[in-house]
Every structure is written in structure tokens, then in C-alpha cells.
């Protein structure tokens, strides 16, 4: 794997490559993916089975964990009867779901109705195949990475699979032959498509610093610092991953107060269990991707990684750090669900299209410009401060961006003040009931303005035509 040497920009706080270029023993293009040369096909099958079991067991624990934590947050015990500490409650619920009657609505498209939960459940597992869960380890006499597979565009594969997974939801809503599931499916489609754009843009800054879209290479590039220092990208990704998984406060595709159960209202038994399983596995997938992209993946925290020449970054230790980081994000999901109310759908979509996407576009431009300046790709006059050289073009660009942000904030504040003034303004004492083209009843304390003579004549003369009244 490539070894990168990085330093931190003392002015901007954004990390940069030491010396303005790659100080590496190898370039990422020389070894763009993880090394699977000593991994036979049967070992790949074993790893696929282990990943499947890992996700299933973690889902069982996660459901119990979520109930217990939210129970404590709401001052109630949560599940505590079935098994020690209620640990077997999730297993009991799964058995109960399997034994329930499997109902299919009379007017449903039966083939698509059965296919939709299979798509939603299967796609949730596929994305985890490219997540590096640890370094090279020894398994059954072979040296292999703790990763099922890797490609040069692994992160794009995750986004593509997430786009396919939404077909399960929209097909479930459409095939049910019912209004509320259809509305839930349409909501989810618009929601996932909208927030996938911002999610993809939030990861571009990571690609620029890592020099690769391979998940294994991105983890290797975080050897000296984690990309969580790219705070705007991290915050945008955290918001979009909650929207992608339809979790509170963004579970608008299944809002019980508006859409009953949303897209899975008509589902029962194991078909409903597949949607339930897919939602939780998706949570693990987006959390694992966040760990990989921003928290160093399977690498130990910086202080621990320095002990004994990095012994805690070798072997199976990586799996421990990966699981700890993964569960930190899962606790974040639970904390959000127990703390925040559901937002309104129009507010959620407005936030995504009018703030997140423009903000991430501007951030990507800024990061790309800074990377070009740090690698000395921008010529022209420069300003030297201490031992650092800054191209004047870069300084002018940062000033323009900062000025644009300040100007936009000032305009936004003025508009907000105007809207609040209009909202607080008292209603007029006299109104025209026909001003909008249809009669409007007056508010208490208001009086009606006398109608125009032409309207009075038209009202008294039933033979007057619409064209004559319009002309008058």
C-alpha cells in the first residue's frame, strides 16, 4: 500500500501534502486497490459469509441497544424480560414476525410486491463488500486484507448501490395498490435522490486529499491525520447519511402521523422483516463509510497508534478500532431518534436543495483551489509570510469567497427582517373581497370595500357576459 506523508497548513488549518507534492514511496495509481493476490476464491466466500453474519448479529444487538438507550432517555426500562437484560427480545420478535400470516393486498401487483423487499434487503448487504474492516491478516494460511473486494472507484459503487436500493422502497409503495404506501414511496425517492447529490459532493474533498476513490487507499492516506479535519464535508455527510437511511428526524417516507406506516403499510411477516433488516443494515453501511472516509477506517486513534511502533495498527487490532468507531455512529443514530422531532417534508427538501447542495458545491471549489495552490499548480506573483508562500490568486480567491459569504449572509438577514416585519404587520382595516379573483371573507374588525361600479352592474344584470365584465 502507499505511504503518504502529510503536514498541516498553519494558516488555513487544512492539511496538505508535505512539500506541495506526494512525498510517498509509491503513487496511488501504482497500487490503486488492496492486495488480494493471496486470496483464493473459497476464502472470499468465507469472508462474504462472515460479513453477512457480522451484519445480522450487529443488527440484532442494535435493535436491543436502541430500545434500551431510548428507554433510559425516556425514563423507562426498555426490554428486560426475555433473556438476560432483555438480550433475546430481538430474537423473539424476529421469530414472531416469521410466524405471522403473510398477507398480500387484493389489488397489489403480486410479483413486484414480493420482489421489492428482496431488493431493499439485498442491496443493503452489497455495499459493505468494499469496506476495509482491518489490515492484512492471516486467515487459513493465507495473507489477505479484512475486506471482501476493492475497486478503484469503490466509493462510487456504494453510491450506485444506494441508488438501486431505493427501487425497493418505491416499488413497494407502487405495487401495494394503496394511496399511503404510494405517497411514502414517492417521498422516499425524492428524498434519497436529493440527498445523494449532497452526499457525493461531500466526499469529493476526501478524494482530492487522498488521491484515490479506493476505500483501502483512502484509509492508507489517513495514516498521519484523519479527514475529519475537513469539517464541512464531515458535517454535510452526517446530515445526508441520516436522510439516506430514512431515520428520525428524517423518516418522512413512513411518517405515522401522515402516511400510516408509509411505503410498507401493506407488508407483514418476513416481507416486513426484510425492510426492517434493510434499514438497520443501511445504517451500518453509511456508518462504516463515514468511518472509512473521515475517521481513519480501521486505524487506531493517533495516541494509541504511536505505542510500540504501531503494534495496535497491525493484525486483528484493526477490526476492534473499526467496530468501536462504527458503534459510535450507531449511538449517534439512536441519540437523534430519542432527541429530535420529525421535521416537515417541505422544510427537509428545501434544506437539501437550497442549502446543502449549494454549500457543498462552493466547498468543493474552495478545496480544489487550495489543493492546486498547495501543489504549486497556480503560477503568478506570490506573497511570502515566514517560510510559507501564498499565490496572490489564491489570496484573492479566498477574499472573494469570504466576501461573497458575508454578502449572502447580509442579504439573508435583511430578507429575514422584512419577512418578520410583514408577518407582524397588522391586517388592513378595509379589504377588497374580489381582489384575488374569488370572494374572501373579512377578518374580525375588517370592513369590506365597496365593489367597483362595473362589478355592481354585472351583478344586477344577469344577461351581462363575462367578456363585457372583463372589458369593463
Q: Is a pLDDT exceeding 60 seen at residue 459?
A: no
Decide: pTM greater than 0.95: no
The pLDDT value given to residue 23: 34
Q: Is a pLDDT exceeding 50 seen at residue 269?
A: yes
Cβ atoms of 33 and 214 within 8 Å: the answer is yes
Q: 113: number of CA atoms within 13 Å, CB side? A: 20
Mean pLDDT (the chain, rounded): 77
Q: Is a pLDDT exceeding 50 seen at residue 171?
A: yes
Higher pLDDT, 339 or 393: 339
Task: Determine which of 53-67, 198-212, 367-381 has the lowest per-residue pLDDT on average.
Answer: 367-381
Phi, psi of 51 (to 5 degrees): -65, -40
Q: Is a pLDDT exceeding 50 seen at residue 2?
A: no
Measured distance CA(256)–CA(265) in Å, rounded: 10
The pLDDT value given to residue 325: 92
Q: Is a pLDDT exceeding 50 seen at residue 364?
A: yes
Measured distance CA(166)–CA(266) in Å, rounded: 18
Cβ atoms of 284 and 326 within 8 Å: the answer is yes
The pLDDT value given to residue 6: 37
Q: Choose the most confident range, by mean pLDDT, from 15-19, 102-106, 374-378.
A: 102-106
CA angle 40, 41, 43 (to 5 degrees): 70
The residue with cell 413497494 is 172
Measured distance CA(199)–CA(50) in Å, rounded: 28
Phi, psi of 461 (to 5 degrees): -105, 100
The residue with cell 448479529 is 57
Q: What is the pLDDT of residues 49-96, one digit of tens each?
A: 999 999 999 999 999 999 999 998 888 888 888 888 888 888 888 888
The pLDDT value given to residue 378: 57
Neighbouring residues of 202: CB distance < 8 A, sequence distance ≥ 6: 232, 233, 234, 236, 237, 240, 360
Each domain of the chain, given as residue ranges in start order, spans 36-367, 381-408
Neighbouring residues of 347: CB distance < 8 A, sequence distance ≥ 6: none
Cβ atoms of 33 and 59 within 8 Å: the answer is no
**3-state secondary structure labels for all residues of 329-378:** HHHHHHHHHHHCCCCCHHHHHHHHHHHHHHHHHHHHHHHHHHHHHHCCCC
Measured distance CA(389)–CA(429) in Å, rounded: 66
Q: What is the largest CA-CA distance in the chain?
A: 100
Q: What is the pLDDT of residues 419-455, one digit of tens each?
A: 777 776 676 667 776 666 666 677 776 777 766 555 4
Q: Is a pLDDT exceeding 70 seen at residue 206?
A: yes
Residue 40: left if φ>0, alpha if ψ -120 to 50, beta else—which one?
beta
The pLDDT value given to residue 464: 47
Q: What is the pLDDT of residues 406-422, one digit of tens each?
A: 777 677 777 777 777 77
Higher pLDDT, 243 or 431: 243
Q: Region 261-271: what's the mean pLDDT?
A: 80
The pLDDT value given to residue 468: 46
Measured distance CA(151)–CA(464) in Å, rounded: 76
Amino acid at each position: 500500500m502507499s505511504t503518504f506523508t502529510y503536514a498541516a497548513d498553519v494558516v488555513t488549518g487544512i492539511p496538505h501534502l508535505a512539500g506541495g507534492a506526494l512525498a510517498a514511496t509509491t503513487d496511488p495509481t501504482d497500487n490503486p486497490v488492496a492486495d488480494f493476490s493471496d486470496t483464493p476464491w473459497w476464502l472470499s466466500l468465507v469472508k462474504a459469509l462472515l460479513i453477512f453474519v457480522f451484519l445480522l448479529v450487529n443488527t440484532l444487538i442494535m435493535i436491543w441497544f436502541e430500545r434500551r438507550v431510548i428507554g433510559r432517555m425516556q425514563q423507562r426500562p426498555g426490554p428486560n424480560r426475555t433473556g438476560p437484560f432483555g438480550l433475546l427480545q430481538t430474537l423473539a420478535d424476529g421469530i414472531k414476525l416469521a410466524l405471522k400470516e403473510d398477507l398480500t393486498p387484493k389489488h397489489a401487483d403480486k410479483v413486484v410486491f414480493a420482489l421489492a423487499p428482496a431488493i431493499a434487503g439485498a442491496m443493503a448487504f452489497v455495499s459493505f463488500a468494499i469496506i476495509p474492516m482491518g489490515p492484512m491478516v492471516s486467515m487459513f494460511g493465507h495473507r489477505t486484507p479484512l475486506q471482501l473486494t476493492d475497486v478503484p472507484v469503490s466509493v462510487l459503487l456504494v453510491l450506485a448501490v444506494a441508488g438501486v436500493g431505493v427501487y425497493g422502497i418505491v416499488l413497494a409503495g407502487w405495487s401495494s395498490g394503496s394511496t399511503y404506501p404510494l405517497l411514502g414511496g414517492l417521498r422516499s425517492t425524492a428524498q434519497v435522490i436529493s440527498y445523494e447529490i449532497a452526499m457525493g459532493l461531500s466526499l469529493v474533498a476526501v478524494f482530492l486529499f487522498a488521491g484515490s476513490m479506493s476505500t483501502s487507499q483512502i484509509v492508507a492516506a489517513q495514516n498521519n491525520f484523519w479527514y475529519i479535519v475537513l469539517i464541512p464535508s464531515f458535517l454535510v455527510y452526517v446530515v445526508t447519511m441520516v436522510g439516506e437511511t430514512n431515520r428520525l428526524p428524517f423518516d418522512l417516507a413512513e411518517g405515522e402521523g401522515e402516511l400510516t406506516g408509509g411505503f410498507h403499510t401493506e407488508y407483514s411477516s418476513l416481507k416486513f422483516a426484510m425492510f426492517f433488516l434493510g434499514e438497520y443494515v443501511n445504517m451500518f453501511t453509511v456508518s462504516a463509510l463515514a468511518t472509512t472516509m473521515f475517521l481513519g477506517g480501521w486505524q487506531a486513534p493517533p495516541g494509541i497508534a504511536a505505542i510500540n511502533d504501531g503494534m495496535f495498527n497491525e493484525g486483528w487490532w484493526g477490526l476492534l478500532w473499526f467496530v468501536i468507531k462504527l458503534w459510535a455512529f450507531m449511538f449517534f443514530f439512536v441519540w437523534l431518534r430519542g432527541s429530535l422531532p420529525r421535521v416537515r417534508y417541505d422544510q427537509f427538501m428545501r434544506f437539501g436543495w437550497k442549502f446543502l447542495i449549494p454549500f457543498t458545491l462552493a466547498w468543493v471549489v474552495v478545496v480544489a483551489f487550495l489543493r492546486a495552490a498547495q501543489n504549486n499548480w497556480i503560477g503568478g506573483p506570490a506573497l511570502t509570510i515566514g517560510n510559507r508562500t501564498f499565490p496572490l490568486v489564491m489570496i484573492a480567491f479566498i477574499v472573494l469567497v469570504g466576501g461573497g459569504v458575508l454578502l449572502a449572509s447580509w442579504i439573508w438577514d435583511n430578507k429575514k427582517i422584512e419577512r418578520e416585519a410583514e408577518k407582524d404587520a397588522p391586517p388592513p382595516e378595509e379589504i377588497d373581497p374580489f381582489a384575488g379573483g374569488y370572494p374572501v371573507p373579512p377578518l374580525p374588525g375588517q370592513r369590506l370595500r365597496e365593489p367597483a361600479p362595473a362589478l355592481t352592474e354585472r351583478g344586477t344584470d344577469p344577461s351581462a357576459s363575462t367578456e363585457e365584465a372583463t372589458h369593463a
